[in-house]
Amino acid sequence: MKTKYLAALLATTIAVPAHADVLVDNVSGITMDEEGKVKRFEALVIDDDGRIAQLIERGEDRPRTDYREDGEGRVMLPGMIDAHAHVMGVGFGALTLDLSDTNSLDEALERIRTFAAENEARPWILGRGWNQEKWGLGRFPTAAELDSAVADRPVYLERVDGHAGWANTLAMQAAGITAASKAPSGGKIELLADKKTPSGVFIDLAMDLVNKAVPAPRAVERDLALAEAQKVFHRYGITAVADMGTTIEDWQSFRRAGDAGSLNLRIMSYAFGPEQMVLIGGSGPSLWLYDDKLRLNGVKLYLDGALGSRGAWLKRPYADDPGNYGLPLQTPAQLRNNLVRAAQGGFQPAVHAIGTAANAELLNAIDEIAGSFDGDRRWRVEHAQIVDPADLPKLADNGIIASMQPLHQTSDRLMAEARLGMDRLDGAYAWNTILDLGGTLAFGSDAPVEPADAFAGYAVAITRMDANGEPFGGWLPSERVNREQALAGFTSKAAYAGFAEGRFGRLLPGERADFILVDNDPLLATPEEIRATKVFETWVNGRKVYEAD
C-alpha cells in the first residue's frame, strides 16, 4: 500500500526544469484582461517564482531566457477553475464503485456484483452514482434488490447527487436501523408498502444514520484519494478548485500534500459546516499557503436537498408528488445565525440552495444581514437552480455570487420538467438572466456528481444542449451565455468567487503561471469540437503537472 501511495504522489508532478526564467513560445494564447475583454498573445515568460513575467504579442521580440518551451502552435488558455466540486469525493470515486454510467437497475446490480467479487477483501462495498431517474425506474431501489447482488457484506451507495443513500440489509443492521428508527429533522427514511419497514433509501440528513456505521478511511487512503483527484482534475485541464465541504481530515490531507511538495492543485476550501469551519480556521480564514495553492476561504452550508430525491425546498409542491414541498435543512433562525457567525469571523458563506423556497429564504436572509457587515463579502449561492423569477433580481444585490454548474442543466432537464411542470420553469438555470440583471456567475461541475469536464460545461453554457444535441435549439435557449462569458465563468470569475483574483485565473503579468495547451479555440470552435477538446498539457505555477499520452 505504501509503495502504491508514494508512486501516486510522484505521478502528480512531471519533471521539468527547476524554476528559472522560461519562455513558452509558439502558442495561440487567449486570456481575459483586467476589463474582462479577450486578450490574445503568442508567448509568455515565466519567472523563477512561477509567475507570469511578460506576455508577448504578435510582432514583439522574444527575450532571452534560461529555457524555451515550444508550444507547437497549440491554443493556450488559463487553467480552468472549477468553482464548485468535491475534491476528495472525486478521489474516492476513482477508488470505489462508480455507477454513474449505468442505465438500468439490472445493469447497476451486475456492476455491484462484479465489483464485490473483484474486491473480496473489502469489509464494506462503497460507491456512488446511482440515479433511479436515469434508469427509468419510477421509484427508489430497495435493500432487497441490493441484497440480490451482495448479501454477505454491508453495501452502501450514494445517489449521484449525494443527497440520498442506498443500503442493503447488512448495512442497515450494522447501523442499527429498524422499523422503529426515526429520521432526523431535514431527512427522510423511505419506507416499503407497509409504511413501517425502511426500504433501504435514506434522504439528506437521514443518510447520517448509515454513515455513522461506515468505516472511516485511514490517512494513507485519504492521501491516495487526493493524489487520484489531482490526476483527474489535471487531465481535464483544471488547475484550481473550490472544495465545497472540507472536513478536518480533508484539510490534513491537503496540508500533508503541501508539506511534501505534491500539492499541485489550487484548492479554495469551504469547511463542512460551522463546526469544521472553527476546527480548521479558528478565528478566521487561513492565509494562502504553498504558493497560493491552499486557503480556507469560508464555510459550506446546506439549506435544502436536490431535485432528484425531491429534497429541494419549493414554494409550491412537486408536480409529480402533490403535498411534498421538499426538505428545508435549516430553520430561518438557524440560517441567519450561521450566516452571521461566519461573517463575524470573516469567513465567506457558500450556501447550497436549489429550490424556489430555499433560494428565496437565503436571498432574503442575506439582504437582512448584509448591511451589518462592512467590506467585500461575496455571499455565495451554490447551485441556484430553480429560482422564482420574482427573486432573480436579488441575485444582483449585496455582492452575491451565483455559483452554478452548467452540466446540471442537461442532466436534470427532463427531471426538472417532471418535478415542476412546464409552467414553472421560468427562473430555472437562469444564467443569462442573472448576468443581465447585473449578477456574477462562477461556473463549476459539482464533481463527482457530474464529470469534472469544464469544456463539456462550457459547451452547455453556450448552447443549453446535451452531448447528443438535445433539445434542438437548446432548452430555454434565452438563458444561454456567450463564449466570452462562459470562459470567464470557468476562469477569472471563478477565481474572483474565491477571493483569488490577482493571484490566478488569468494569464497576465504578476499572476501565477497556471495554463493549459489544448487543440481547440473555444471562442471559435463548434460546440461539438469544444466538447471533444483534448488537453495536451496542464501547468501549475510554471511547472508541467500533466502531459497527455
Return d(Cα 542, Cα 46) in angstroms, integer: 6
- pLDDT of 308: 87
Per-residue confidence band for 533, with pLDDT thresholds at 50, 70 and 90: very high
C-alpha cell at 454: 469544464
Reply yes or no on whether the pLDDT at 5 is more than 50.
no
The sheet that has 22-25: what strands, in order across it? 52-56, 43-46, 22-25, 67-70
Position 500 scores a pLDDT of 98
pLDDT computed for residue 220 by the predictor:
95
Q: With 80 as the cut, is the pLDDT of residue 10 above it?
A: no
CA atoms within 13 A on the CB side of 186: 16
pLDDT at 13 over 70: no
Cα–Cα distance measured from residue 498 to residue 283, given in angstroms and rounded to the nearest whole number? 19
Residue 3's pLDDT is what? 43
Average pLDDT, the chain: 95
Q: Please check the confidence at residue 434 and state whether its pLDDT lies above 80.
A: yes
Reported as a single tens digit per residue, the pLDDT across 75-110 is: 999 999 999 999 999 999 999 999 989 999 999 999
Instruction: Report the C-alpha gap between 299 and 279 in whole angstroms.
Output: 11
Which amino acid is residue 167, in one-letter code?
Answer: A
462-477 pLDDT per residue, tens? 999 999 999 999 999 9
Closest by CA to 261, choosing from 13, 537, 549, 529, is 13
Angle at alpha carbon of residue 499, lines to 495 and 505, rounded to 5° = 25
> With bands split at pLDDT 50, 70 and 90, how would you rate the model's confidence at 549?
confident
**57 has a pLDDT exceeding 60:** yes
Element (H, E) at 53: strand 52-56
Q: Each residue of 354-394: pLDDT tens digit? A: 999 999 999 999 999 999 999 899 999 999 999 999 999 99
Helix (H) or strand (E) holding 226: helix 219-235
Mean pLDDT along residues 122-132? 94
What is the pLDDT confidence band of residue 12, given thresholds at 50, 70 and 90? very low
Grid coordinates representing 262 are 505534491
Q: What is the pLDDT of residues 501-527, one digit of tens each?
A: 999 999 999 999 999 999 999 999 999
With a pLDDT cut of 90, the percent of the chain lying above it is 93
CB crowding 202-220: b at 16 or more within 10 Å, else e: bbbbbbebbeebbeebeee
pLDDT of residue 8: 46
Residue 309 has what pLDDT?
Answer: 87
pLDDT at 154 over 70: yes
Percent with pLDDT over 70 in the chain: 96
Beta-strand runs (E) in 160-265:
164-167, 187-191, 198-204, 238-246
pLDDT greater than 70 at residue 237: yes
Contacts of residues 148-155 at CB distance under 8 Å and 24 or more positions apart, as own/partner, are 148/109, 149/109, 149/110, 149/112, 149/113, 149/116, 150/112, 150/113, 150/116, 150/125, 153/116, 153/122, 153/123, 153/124, 153/125, 154/123, 154/124, 154/125, 154/213, 155/112, 155/116, 155/124, 155/125, 155/126
**Nearest-CA neighbor of 229 among 240, 218, 215, 245?**
240
SS3 215: coil
Q: For the residues of 440-474, what is the DSSP string, one character each?
A: EEEE---TTSS---HHHHHHHHHH---TT--STT-
